[in-house]
Structure 1
Amino acid sequence: MSTLLTVTGVTKAFAGNAVLQGVDFAIGPGEIVGVIGPNGSGKSTLLNAISGFTPVDAGRIELGGAPLQRLAPHRIHGLGLARTFQLPAMPEKMTVFEVLLAADNRRHGFWASLCGGAEQRAQEAASRALATQWLGELLLTGVRDTPAAALSGGQKKLLSVGCALMGNPRLLMLDEPTAGVHPNLRRDMVAMLQGLAARGIALLIVEHDMHFIGELCQRCIVLDRGRVVAQCTPAQLSQHPQVLQAYLGSEHPVVLEAAV
């Protein structure tokens, strides 16, 4: 498999406290990888470092061979990396459809679409078509004209995924996508994310829900105190000594799910 994202020796400290320590891993196109670990293990910091929101102290991050570690988040987004956050904030005066349109950074704006000629109008039409497509695939068509801030927590998570997809990313990073989401919607999310991977979009997912990880991910990266202590399949987690030590302080085989 070819490599899309490469993380090599990434290190980050805050006020002398090492949060990431020599993190190494790689992800290929269309691969679904989970990032798990105890609270405070550096999972969200890792996503922030890759996406440019947190500058690294050392190491190298590459997307398709292009170095990312000195780029601003919008530059990284332009190279094909998109992400969501744990608690998506939605505007109160924009509908779901309008939020999706605003997330397409290829658009030239309303007045440009009217006055800027055929090319701009064509781009506007393409953006609206893409937003309509994601509304359907994310099960949000029924709330198309609803204020985005009025959505349920799960629907806001789906809308944030839709906003990320409006930029046609090669890599999509999700930070706890199932937190506060109804179990029925989680099943729909698994199918939807598997469909994205089938199109070649790589997924890097920080998540605490081990059922979700087991259903969705092909491989897991396990962090403990800022270090990668294991890379294995979800089925191997409950028997992996270093994983058990990270979560439980024990090397005895147990059901990991019960401890997370």
Structure 2
Amino acid sequence: MTTPNQERLLEVASLAKAFGGNRVLQDVNFSIGAGEIVGLLGPNGSGKSTLLNTITGFEAIDNGAVRYRGQEIGRLGAHRIVERGIARTFQLPSMPSMMSVMEVAMAAATTRHGLWETLCNGAGVRGAEAAARDKATRLLHELLLTHVRDLPASALSGGQKKLLGIVCALMGDPQMVMLDEPTAGVHPNLRNDIVQALKRLNRQGMTLVIVEHDMHFIREVCTRCIVLDRGHIVASCHPDELSSNERVLQAYLGGGAHQQAMAGEAAQ
């Protein structure tokens, strides 16, 4: 839910997606306001990843609409959506073995602002490279990756690859970043780094949408949760309301077992 004076950055209306006879998303409706940190939750198979993929142009929608800043983007390809200002990360980021961390970050700078645009603006190739290097250096510092900047990107740990994925997403100056399980399988120390990095980005004005299973993370970071179950939205609420929402509890293993799990997370 957005407040009356809050800009509606993203609006999804009657969104539907099927693979063959399997209806993965059905009549999905929600909006996200500028500056929110929204957790996208749901049991396995609820449609979270498909929803993320359809919004960011990696899967074509069947019906409905996706609007960003009031403009329809639901039929655009992924690169066009990035150009509009929406970036994303992936649950299992694959990094090239022949490029360093710095080179990967610099390459991501052309995702939204390409070389031709740079040349037309008079910056020239050398100027564009210098600007990309400066931005990459700053972001690698902010996300605590300076000490590995010259290593092969493929040599990073899983958590460091996720941090580098966030760096790459930010290189295109997005206004919204969608993250797919940014802390899954990450060492606790790096998990805290990711949490603090996301909070800093939000304080700087970034809108975040986060697919995540870690309820402690959700309570720590998110301002609102959207819960999917079997392709339908069953709740849109504050994280503290999840453990008392009957529709949410029923979505997770019938309710009782998950209520105990949520209560245990809240006690940590």
- Scaled to the shorter chain, the TM-score interval is over 0.9
Give the root-mean-square deviation of aligned CA atoms: 2.1
Contact 1:213–1:234 under 8 Å retained in 2:
yes
Range with greater deviation from structure 2 (65-74 or 36-45): 65-74
1:96-149 Cα offsets, whole Å, 9 max, x none, are 00000000113539xx99xx9754433322211110011001100000100000
Question: What SS is found at the alignment partner of 1:103?
Answer: helix
Question: What SS is found at the alignment partner of 2:109?
Answer: coil
Contact 2:243–2:263 under 8 Å retained in 1:
no
- What corresponds to 1:157 in structure 2? 162
- What corresponds to 2:174 in structure 1? 169
- Structure 2 counterpart of 1:242, one-letter code: R
- Percent same amino acid among aligned pairs? 58
Which of 36, 40, 43 matches 1:38? 43
Contact 1:241–1:251 under 8 Å retained in 2:
no
Alignment of 1:101-180 (within 5 A): 101-105=106-110, 106=113, 108=115, 119-180=124-185
- Structure 2 counterpart of 1:108, one-letter code: L
TM-score normalised by structure 2 residue count: 0.90
The answer on 1:204 being equivalent to 2:209 is yes
Say how many residue pairs are matched: 256
Which of 187, 193, 199 matches 1:182? 187
1:131-172 Cα offsets, whole Å, 9 max, x none, are 001100110000010000000000000001110000010110
- Structure 1 counterpart of 2:107, one-letter code: A
- Structure 2 counterpart of 1:82, one-letter code: A
Counterpart CA distance in 2 for 1:154 and 1:244 is 30
Contact 2:248–2:255 under 8 Å retained in 1:
no
Alignment of 1:1-260 (within 5 A): 1-105=6-110, 106=113, 108=115, 119-250=124-255, 254-257=259-262
- Structure 1 counterpart of 2:200, one-letter code: G
1:10-31 Cα offsets, whole Å, 9 max, x none, are 0011111110011111111111
Question: What SS is found at the alignment partner of 2:81?
Answer: helix
- Structure 1 counterpart of 2:69, one-letter code: G
Shift, 1:38, TM fit? 0.4
Counterpart CA distance in 1 for 2:257 and 2:40 is 22
1:50-103 Cα offsets, whole Å, 9 max, x none, are 001111111110111111111111001100010011110000010000000000
Contact 1:237–1:256 under 8 Å retained in 2:
no
Counterpart CA distance in 2 for 1:154 and 1:178 is 7
Contact 1:247–1:259 under 8 Å retained in 2:
no
Shift, 1:199, TM fit? 1.7
Counterpart CA distance in 1 for 2:257 and 2:217 is 24
Question: What SS is found at the alignment partner of 2:210?
Answer: strand
